[in-house]
Amino acid sequence: AQSVAQPEDQVNVAEGNPLTVKCTYSVSGNPYLFWYVQYPNRGLQFLLKYITGDNLVKGSYGFEAEFNKSQTSFHLKKPSALVSDSALYFCAVRGQAGTALIFGKGTTLSVSS
Amino acid sequence: ETGVTQSPTHLIKTRGQQVTLRCSSQSGHNTVSWYQQALGQGPQFIFQYYREEENGRGNFPPRFSGLQFPNYSSELNVNALELDDSALYLCASSLARVGDGYTFGSGTRLTVV
């Protein structure tokens, strides 16, 4: 069975500092990994995905994520946080083609000015 | 290219009633999934339709049912509503190819009283 763990309910960071939001996964076969962001009372917005190739994936709004197969992790990073990055972030995994996305419980990112 | 649209945006129902939520897929997408997101939780997979056939289901009871139409739009029906069904219901569409992510709608906020 596929599963995703986001070990931190909340991450607090000061504006301008680097941020990391952690995600680990479990899936049989090759993982297809995604990060989504959700603003209050809104749907999910796609940030980035890892399918194959380079372990460092670059996405929207300056975010990037590093795929680590040995640690089964896919942590979201940004070199310099903005207050506007404050939102709820979800990591998701998709196994074989045609299967649905399975989400973690989410991590609230709070960036202070 | 249109995105995913859901209707209605908000809905209040009484316990025991039935509800139908609607979703128009992104143009060209042949797969639609429905998710339930309770307050403070990650989206939980309800079921998925591919070319009008259900091809995956999460841990939801049979009173949650759905349809996908030839134009790939979709409905989620919930019978005998319970208070715990109060949640944001998200629809997402995809091409179901390996590595494809999903495009999400803004959701329907269902409140059961």
How far apart are alpha carbons A89 and A91 in whole angstroms? Answer: 7
The single-letter DSSP state of residue B70 is T
pLDDT at position B97 over 80 = no
Tokens of B80: 């005998």
pLDDT of residue B40: 84
CB-based contact, B29 to chain A, within 8 Å? no
Which residues in A lie closer than 8 A to residue B101 (C-beta atoms)? Answer: 34, 46, 49, 94, 101
Give the 3-state secondary structure of residue B85. Answer: helix
Can you name the residues that pair with A44 across neighbouring β-strands? A38
- Going from the C-alpha of B26 to that of each of A95, B48, B57, the distances in angstroms are 22, 15, 21
For A32-77, write each residue's pLDDT tens digit: 899 999 998 778 999 999 988 889 999 999 999 999 999 999 999 9
Residue closest to B35 by CA, chosen among B17, B13, B20, B57: B57
Tokens of B22: 């609607």
Residue B9: which region, alpha, beta or left (left: phi > 0; alpha: psi -120 to 50)?
Answer: alpha
- B99 contacts A52? CB cut-off 8 A: yes
For B55-96, write each residue's pLDDT tens digit: 889 999 999 999 999 988 999 999 999 999 999 999 999 886
Interface test mutation site (partner B, options A60, A101, A107, A108, max chain B beta carbons within 10 A): A101
Residue closest to A47 by CA, chosen among B48, B103, B98: B103
**Nearest CA-CA distance, residue B9 and chain A, Å:** 10
DSSP A54-104: -SEEE-GGG-EEEEETTTTEEEEEESS--GGG-EEEEEEEE-STTPPPEE-
CB-based contact, B101 to chain A, within 8 Å? yes
